[in-house]
Amino acid sequence: MTVSNSETFKLLLLAQDLSDVICKPITSQQTIPLRHSVLWPGENAAKVILPADELGWHFGAFVPSRVEPIAVISLFTESVPMNPIDSTLDRLTVDDPAVEGMATRFRKFACDPLFQGRGIGTKLLTYVFHFSRLNLHARVVWCDARVSASSWYRKRSMIPFGNTFFKGTVEYVRMRIDLELLTP
């Protein structure tokens, strides 16, 4: 869909007030166009489809003037991986079968470039943190973050753990947040 400059201006005005932005569950299929155009535009769209998509929860941020989401994120129940940092949380998450489901991982987080820098991604990520805590009883949310975006996640109280690594030519670092620190 091509959007003219005047339509773009109207869309941006509508997204100025975060109270107009609605975060809600969506299907995995609804995440694909934005995942592809933002995360891997030069690749085949199949690259953004995850084998576990049907097992996860998917969320989108919407403004009143658009049917399609302006930001998307996918969430999965997945233990925090072992890493060189030997913290109590890592030992509990990986070694204790009684704590299954205490961690969730988000993947394929993308926001339309026209709406970046307006707090929409933060609102959607916060929605996922609260969903994880209240609905899935998770204690931790983690992700593989592009190193180029790690400062954005740090500003949202996520901390890096483990060593950096590459997916293709892109450098990543694992980041997490302790949900018990969030206020309801």
Q: What is the mean pLDDT of residues 61-73?
A: 95
Q: Which pLDDT does position 65 carry in this prediction?
A: 84
pLDDT in tens, 121-140: 999 999 999 999 999 999 99
Average pLDDT, the chain: 85
Residue 46 CB-density burial (10 A; 0-12 exposed, 13-18 middle, 19+ buried): exposed
Q: What is the mean pLDDT of residues 6-16?
A: 50
The Cα-based distances of 27 to 24, 31, 68, 74, 160 in angstroms read: 10, 7, 12, 10, 29
Whether pLDDT at 9 is above 90: no
Q: Say what the pTM is.
A: 0.81
Q: What percent of the chain has pLDDT over 70?
A: 79
pLDDT in tens, 149-175: 999 999 999 999 999 999 889 999 999
Going along the chain from its start, the domains and CATH numbers come out as: 5-181 (3.40.630.30)
Asked whether 22 and 61 are in contact (CB, 8 A), the reply is: yes
* Collapsed DSSP state (helix, strand, coil) of residue 29: helix
In this structure, how many other beta carbons lie within 10 angstroms of the beta carbon of residue 79? Answer: 20
Residues 6+ apart with CB under 8 A from 113: 38
Whether pLDDT at 106 is above 70: yes
pLDDT in tens, 86-97: 344 444 444 443
Strand partners, 170: 167
Asked whether 43 and 102 are in contact (CB, 8 A), the reply is: no
